[in-house]
Chain A
Amino acid sequence: MRAVSACPAWVVTNVTDDQASLLIHPFAFQAPEGISSALGAAFLPLTAKQDFVANSNLATIVHLDLFLAGKFATVTGLREVLCHGFAILLLFTQRFTFGTHLTRTSPESYDLGLQDALFQWSTKATDPWMQVHMAQE
Chain B
Amino acid sequence: MYVYTLIYMYTRIYIYIAGGAVDTVVADFADLDSVAACGAVLAAKYPVIDLLVNNAGMHYNSNVMRPSKSLATVDGYDLVFSSNYLGHFLLTRFLEAALHKAPAGRLVQLSSTYHWHSDGTDLDPRLNGSVPLASVGDASQSTLRRRNLAYVPLAHPPPCPFPRACVPYTTHLLPLPPGMAHPSSRRFCMRGRSSGHGRRTRRCGPCRPAQRGW
Mark A residues whose CB is within 8 Å of B: 1-17, 20, 24, 29, 31, 34-35, 38, 41-42, 48-49, 51-52, 54, 56, 58-59, 64, 68-69, 74, 79-80, 83-84, 86-87, 90-91, 105-106, 108-123, 125-126, 129-130, 132-133, 136
B107, A3: Cβ atoms under 8 Å?
yes
Residues of B within 8 A of A117 (CB): 124-126
Q: Which of A6, A8, A42, A133 has the most CB of B within 10 A?
A: A8
B125, A83: Cβ atoms under 8 Å?
no
Rounded to whole angstroms, the CA-CA distance of A123 and B85 in the bound complex is: 12
Closest Cβ of chain B to A118, distance in Å, is 5
Q: CB of B181 within 8 A of chain A? A: yes
Interface residues of B in 88-127 (CB under 8 A from A): 89-90, 93-94, 99-100, 102, 104-120, 123-126
Q: CB of B9 within 8 A of chain A? A: no
B125, A118: Cβ atoms under 8 Å?
yes
A1, B105: Cβ atoms under 8 Å?
yes
Contacts A/B (CB < 8 Å), 5 sampled: A4-B170, A6-B110, A15-B185, A52-B170, A118-B159
B120, A111: Cβ atoms under 8 Å?
yes
* A interface: dominant SS: helix
10 closest Cβ pairs, A-B complex: A11-B213, A34-B213, A119-B159, A15-B182, A129-B36, A83-B117, A109-B171, A5-B111, A115-B159, A1-B105
Closest Cβ of chain A to B79, distance in Å, is 15
Residues of B within 8 A of A14 (CB): 210-211
Residues of A within 8 A of B170 (CB): 3-5, 51-52, 105, 109
Cβ contacts B186-214/A at 8 Å (1 or 0 each) = 00000000000000000000000111111
Residues of A within 8 A of B176 (CB): 8, 11, 13
Rounded to whole angstroms, the CA-CA distance of A7 and B57 in the bound complex is: 12
Stretch in B17-25, B136-144, B150-158 touching the partner: B150-158
A38, B124: Cβ atoms under 8 Å?
no
Question: Which of A12, A90, A106 has a CB less than 8 Å from the CB of B177?
Answer: A90
Nearest B residue to A83, CB-CB: B117
Rounded to whole angstroms, the CA-CA distance of A7 and B166 in the bound complex is: 19
Closest Cβ of chain A to B74, distance in Å, is 13
Residues of A within 8 A of B110 (CB): 5-8, 38
Interface residues of B in 50-88 (CB under 8 A from A): 51, 53, 55, 61, 85-86
Residues of B within 8 A of A1 (CB): 99-100, 102, 105-107, 162, 165-166
Rounded to whole angstroms, the CA-CA distance of A64 and B213 in the bound complex is: 25
Residues of B within 8 A of A38 (CB): 53, 55, 108, 110, 214
Residues of B within 8 A of A116 (CB): 159, 163
Closest Cβ of chain A to B152, distance in Å, is 11
